[in-house]
Chain A
Amino acid sequence: MSETLSATERPAATPPPSPPGASSRSLALARLRDLALVPAIIAVAIVGSIVSPVFLSTDNIINVLQSMSEIAIVVLAQTIVLITGKMDLSLESTFGLAPGVAAWLVVDPALTRGLGLDVLPDAWAVPVVLLVGALVGAFNGLLIVRFGLNGFIVTLGMLIVLRGLLTGISGGQTFFMLPESMTYLGSATWVGVPASIWLSLLLFAAGIVVLGYTRAGRALYAIGGNADAARAAGIRTDRVLWLALIVASVLAALAGLLISGRLAAVPSAQGSGAIFQVFAAAVIGGVSLNGGKGSVFGAFTGVLLLFMIINVLTLAGVPAQWTNFLNGTVILVALVVSRITGGKAQT
């Protein structure tokens, strides 16, 4: 009761609307939450440059950005879903399946020891990738939004089903001899920088604008914050949720296309296990698993921090056998650090 009392007393005590000091302070605080990871990123950069002089070289920075670009797009996709208060585990399977299906349909079996069907011309590959993504998202939406099933279980089921589908059509093998249309985005270089870096940065910029400055984007926050209130405000919550799931799956498919292009192959395990890293990056970046909270920029800093630390560890010559152990540790430490700097440790 005493909390309510002190809380209600405050407005009476402070002078009339928006005293400049207080408001700019609260605004600064709001921005600060977005920038919570920046100090950590700077700290890792300093440690990195001490560990190895190579760390801050252009080549290494491009290397870090490229290695994270595909996962980063999946993180963007997951962020969109998480903000609405749902989650999509199946993104990692979509990440592998979408380019897998495209490769299956266009690759010539004569060149690949019987893999592939060669039923579609090469030009169809990219549209097929995106279409598979959209279909997966639409099906997730059908089960979650329309039939009201639990999103966690539905997408967990989808994760397994889609992975199984990819293993089935590929016979557990790797698609190779991909057409140029599929490898272009993942391997091209624009103005001296890999296209996948440009693409991921562009998508994040678009994400910041859409989620921060459009009604549709704000609707995601409203739904995640309080779905009933969002409905009362006239937001078509079902439609927005459905769209969010579709957009997320298409983004994951696109990310899969980029990595297939980079490696010029689609292994049947592409993306397997990546969802944990994706969740970790989003949560470290301040996106709430309960919905309604988080920003695209925050999610970006989350991925960046994660991959920078991994890069520093590699440069420091940590044996590959220890990578998983350290990856997990990094995720836990980053979570603790971001909770402390985000000022949420108490709640």
Chain B
Amino acid sequence: MSATPSGPADGLVGTDQPVVEAVQITKRFGSTVALADAGIVVRRGETHALVGRNGAGKSTLVSILTGLQAADDGAVAFDGRPAPPLGDRDAWRKRVACVYQKSTIIGALTVAENLFLNRHARGRTGLIHWSRLRRAAEQLLAEWSVEVDVRQPASTLSVEQRQFVEIARALSFGARFIILDEPTAQLDGAGINRLFSRIRQLRAQGVTFLFISHHLQEIYEICDQVTVFRDARHIVTAPVAQLSRPALVAAMTGEDVTMPEAEHRPLTTDAPVLLSVRGLVTTSGAELSVEARAGEVVGIAGGGGSGKVEVAEAIVGLARPTGGTVVVDGRTLRPGSVPDALDAGVGLVPQDRHREGLVPLLSIAENVTMTVPDRIGRRGLISPTRRDDLARDTITDLAIKASGPQVPVSDLSGGNQQKVVMGRALASDPKLLVLITPTAGVDVRSKQTLLGVVEEVRARGTSVLVVSDELDDLRICDRVLVMFQGRVVREMAHGWSDNDLVAAMEGVDLHHV
């Protein structure tokens, strides 16, 4: 309790020592620099936003600020005093707490026990005093006005209640500085409002927040200060009120390393419509209607939770939609059936190549030909020669770095693995190619190859859907549909500006503020 601040109850920005100050933090993971001379200063009583695109270094900073990782260089200070040693978890817990997207609540235990895990109230006999523990838990939750029955198992809590309980637990250690890592990602609108009123209330009680979000409008709603990270560097820190939305978006995007943009030629207007999606509704409530002509590349953009991945998975049959039809080249696909989609000529690069894309211990050849057993078979048996020939073509076409088709996929680098996934999608000469975040986690060179393949495929008259939030992926598209909270909110023709697209994905309209 020693760290309990006598912070200003009115919630105004204090003038004393900053709650946390990180200076010139550098952190490397192997050859990648996660943070380069970056820093942040959070003052008492403020709600501070930390924004940046994926890979900007936000999560690395959080793990350093919470003492989970040590910085290679630089210093962290709490209330003007240097941070405790990494091993002293109790000391860290008294200074800072983080509510992660991933829950640290144990579902099978009661709320009360979760609050006092490993510090249960004990009676004189040394045994746990359950009724005292429950009273303490009730008291703690009442103190921060969290209305939850402490006797119920934590698994029955909603996402929002779970966050409140985690915040209350953090406060009970004495921490008055709390990091919220994308707390709104799994909440609906009403839940977000309740979370925000809770944040305001706690702020009035002297709690300082560092708020990480991808949704810029939330930052304007709840935060006082904003810090922008980009490419492992600190870009700007400013009061939210003094930073316009376009300026904030510009700070986030900056000058990206430009991908050689694919040569763009106009579509022939009489190209037949190959894909027609009408009134598709996913189980999560996202909706999409779209048409794509032969040789057309259509982008579906959107942030996490926009529903872009869900609609794409519904189109290819990975998920069963609740409504709507998908027609590929005149054939209506059976909802939720991958075999039917493959049969109709759909090629897919799924979102998570490790989970849905590859069988890591099997060879490149086996992975590439997995969807086309009939093309490598002879009288019902698989012909290894044909299989390897097909795989060799893929290896050459996609410039996969491997000594041969028999190499297990697990031996390849991330970029080359993704090329194998792409090769598998192309093995059936698809009429429609659906790419979900095709360049996530691959190096620049592989990215070039993968995006170059799209250009070749479209020249052969294939329709391509690119589902991504990476600007480089979307740049090859003829047009981009932007989704936000399950709806298509904008359609942008080729030649959009980065800022416009990012703003649309964040749910901000630059032209109407």
Residues of B participating in the A interface, judged by any CB pair closer than 8 Å: 89-90, 103-110, 113, 117-120, 122, 126-128, 130, 138, 141-142, 147-153, 158-161, 186, 188, 190-191, 194, 284-285
- Min CB distance A33 to B, Å, is 10
12 CB-based A-B contacts, threshold 8 Å: A1-B188, A4-B158, A4-B159, A4-B188, A8-B158, A8-B159, A17-B149, A30-B110, A213-B127, A218-B109, A226-B103, A235-B117
A26 touches B117 (CB 8 A): no
B188 touches A11 (CB 8 A): no
Q: Choose one: B110, B118, B149, B284; the contact of A233 (CB below 8 Å).
A: B118
Nearest-neighbor residue (CB-CB) of A234 within chain B = B118
Nearest-neighbor residue (CB-CB) of B141 within chain A = A17
A222 touches B151 (CB 8 A): no
B128 touches A233 (CB 8 A): no
- Min CB distance A289 to B, Å, is 13
B138 touches A17 (CB 8 A): yes
Q: Choose one: A1, A12, A16, A221; the contact of B108 (CB below 8 Å).
A: A221
A23 touches B128 (CB 8 A): no
**Bound complex: CA of A8 vs CA of B188, how far in Å?**
9
**Bound complex: CA of A229 vs CA of B162, how far in Å?**
14
Nearest-neighbor residue (CB-CB) of B148 within chain A = A11
Residues of A within 8 A of B118 (CB): 215, 218-219, 222, 230, 233-235
Nearest-neighbor residue (CB-CB) of B153 within chain A = A30
Q: Choose one: A1, A8, A214, A229; the contact of B106 (CB below 8 Å).
A: A229
A119 beta carbon closer than 8 Å to chain B: no
B151 touches A221 (CB 8 A): no
Q: Which of A29-47 contact B (CB under 8 A)?
A: 30
Residues of A within 8 A of B122 (CB): 215
A339 beta carbon closer than 8 Å to chain B: no
A18 touches B106 (CB 8 A): no
B151 touches A23 (CB 8 A): yes
Q: Choose one: B106, B110, B119, B120; the contact of A226 (CB below 8 Å).
A: B106
What is the count of residue pairs linking A and B with beta-carbon distances less than 8 angstroms?
108
Nearest-neighbor residue (CB-CB) of B90 within chain A = A234
Contact with B along A196-220 (1 / 0, CB 8 A): 0000000000000100111100110
Residues of A within 8 A of B104 (CB): 226, 228-229, 232
Given A5-B190, A226-B104, A226-B105, 11 additional A-B pairs, CB 8 A: A1-B188, A4-B188, A7-B158, A11-B147, A16-B147, A17-B148, A26-B152, A226-B106, A230-B118, A235-B118, A292-B108
B151 touches A26 (CB 8 A): yes
Q: Is the interface of B mostly helix, strand, loop or mixed?
A: loop
A225 touches B109 (CB 8 A): yes
Residues of A within 8 A of B285 (CB): 1
Nearest-neighbor residue (CB-CB) of A290 within chain B = B108
Residues of A within 8 A of B127 (CB): 209, 213-214
Q: Choose one: B90, B117, B188; the contact of A218 (CB below 8 Å).
A: B117
Nearest-neighbor residue (CB-CB) of A8 within chain B = B158
A221 touches B188 (CB 8 A): no
- Min CB distance B188 to A, Å, is 6
Nearest-neighbor residue (CB-CB) of B114 within chain A = A229
Residues of B within 8 A of A222 (CB): 106, 109, 117-118
**Bound complex: CA of A218 vs CA of B160, how far in Å?**
26
Residues of B within 8 A of A293 (CB): 108
Residues of A participating in the B interface, judged by any CB pair closer than 8 Å: 1, 4-5, 7-12, 14, 16-18, 22-23, 26-27, 30, 209, 212-215, 218-219, 221-222, 224-226, 228-230, 232-235, 292-293
Q: Which of B117, B126, B150, B153 has the most CB of A within 10 A?
A: B117
Q: Choose one: A4, A5, A22, A214; the contact of B149 (CB below 8 Å).
A: A22
Nearest-neighbor residue (CB-CB) of A83 within chain B = B108
- Min CB distance A153 to B, Å, is 17
- Min CB distance A8 to B, Å, is 4
Nearest-neighbor residue (CB-CB) of B130 within chain A = A213
**When A8-B188, A26-B152 are in contact, do A214 and B105 touch as well, CB less than 8 Å?**
no
Residues of B within 8 A of A17 (CB): 138, 141-142, 147-149
Q: Choose one: B89, B110, B128, B190; the contact of A215 (CB below 8 Å).
A: B128
A18 touches B128 (CB 8 A): no
Nearest-neighbor residue (CB-CB) of B157 within chain A = A7
B120 touches A218 (CB 8 A): yes
Residues of B within 8 A of A30 (CB): 110, 151, 153
**Bound complex: CA of A10 vs CA of B188, how far in Å?**
14
Residues of B within 8 A of A12 (CB): 194
**Bound complex: CA of A112 vs CA of B190, how far in Å?**
80
- Min CB distance B18 to A, Å, is 26
**Bound complex: CA of A39 vs CA of B118, how far in Å?**
35
Q: Choose one: B89, B108, B138, B148; the contact of A225 (CB below 8 Å).
A: B108
**Bound complex: CA of A234 vs CA of B119, how far in Å?**
9
- Min CB distance B241 to A, Å, is 31
Residues of B within 8 A of A225 (CB): 106-109
Nearest-neighbor residue (CB-CB) of A219 within chain B = B118
Residues of B within 8 A of A215 (CB): 118, 120, 122, 128
Residues of A within 8 A of B128 (CB): 212-215, 218
**Bound complex: CA of A35 vs CA of B17, how far in Å?**
56
Nearest-neighbor residue (CB-CB) of B286 within chain A = A1
Nearest-neighbor residue (CB-CB) of B191 within chain A = A8
Residues of B within 8 A of A226 (CB): 103-107
Q: Choose one: A1, A209, A213, A218; the contact of B284 (CB below 8 Å).
A: A1
- Min CB distance A137 to B, Å, is 23
- Min CB distance B210 to A, Å, is 18
A23 touches B149 (CB 8 A): yes
**Bound complex: CA of A14 vs CA of B110, how far in Å?**
19
**Bound complex: CA of A127 vs CA of B106, how far in Å?**
39
Residues of B within 8 A of A26 (CB): 149, 151-152
- Min CB distance A45 to B, Å, is 31
**Bound complex: CA of A147 vs CA of B429, how far in Å?**
46
**Bound complex: CA of A218 vs CA of B104, how far in Å?**
16
A230 touches B158 (CB 8 A): no
**Bound complex: CA of A119 vs CA of B149, how far in Å?**
62
